[in-house]
Amino acid sequence: MEKLDQRIQLVASKQFNELVDGWRRTQADLPSRSEAIRRLVHLGLEHEEEHPMRMISAIIRPGRYEPVREALTELGVHGITVTEVRGFGRQRGKTEIYRGAEYEVKETPKLRIDVVAPSTMEEEIVSTIVEQARTGKVGDGTIFVSPIRGVTRIRTGEADQEVIG
């Protein structure tokens, strides 16, 4: 076993300690909270090394696309994929009137924006999308963030950071 010679003081909330202890109880070989925190940090660093890129998918109102696109471009995002989609969430559709007749639209039209970026830009991209897409009304949308294991540009064969950087 590696000799441990550095102490790090950690001030944590009761909730944090409960989360760590809950996870520690699911592990068979962790005798202490400090061992659990050490393992969690190690797992987080490994994950970041294996997944240095993120796929950020945002479902937004079509009318908010231009401000979102302009803000992402200013951030230095090099590529965006946009897809017209239909669906519902809490909004559950809406009632419209066409030629005097009322009808219900169950799925509302939205745009899905997909961005692949370095994990270091994740928070900035998400907050920019939220800032530019928010109207404060039900139906503003949702953002999903997923780790990406790899990406390859078909034309050149470039991979990973060369493609998105």
Is 81 inside a domain boundary? yes
- Check which CATH number belongs to the domain holding 159 and give it: 3.30.70.120
- Cα dihedral: 151, 51, 61, 88 (round 10): 100
Give the list of residues 6+ apart from residue 34 with CB closer than 8 angstroms, or none.
Answer: none
Q: What is the total count of domains within the chain? A: 2
Q: Indicate if the pLDDT at residue 1 is higher than 70.
A: no
What DSSP string describes 106-120? SSEEEEEEEEEEEGG
User: What's the CA gap between 21 and 1, in Å, rounded?
Assistant: 23
Token digits for 24? 């520690």
pLDDT digits (tens, 9 = 90+) for 125-162: 999 999 999 999 888 999 999 998 888 888 998 888 77
Report the pLDDT value the prediction gives residue 92, as an integer from 0 to 100. 64
Rounded to two decimals, what is the model's pTM?
Answer: 0.68
What is the rounded average pLDDT for all residues in the chain? 87
- Claim to verify: residue 73 and residue 154 sit in the same structural domain: yes
- Claim to verify: residue 26 and residue 60 sit in the same structural domain: no
DSSP state of 159: B
113 — phi, psi (to 5°)?
-110, 125
pLDDT digits (tens, 9 = 90+) for 43-75: 888 877 777 889 999 999 999 999 999 999 999
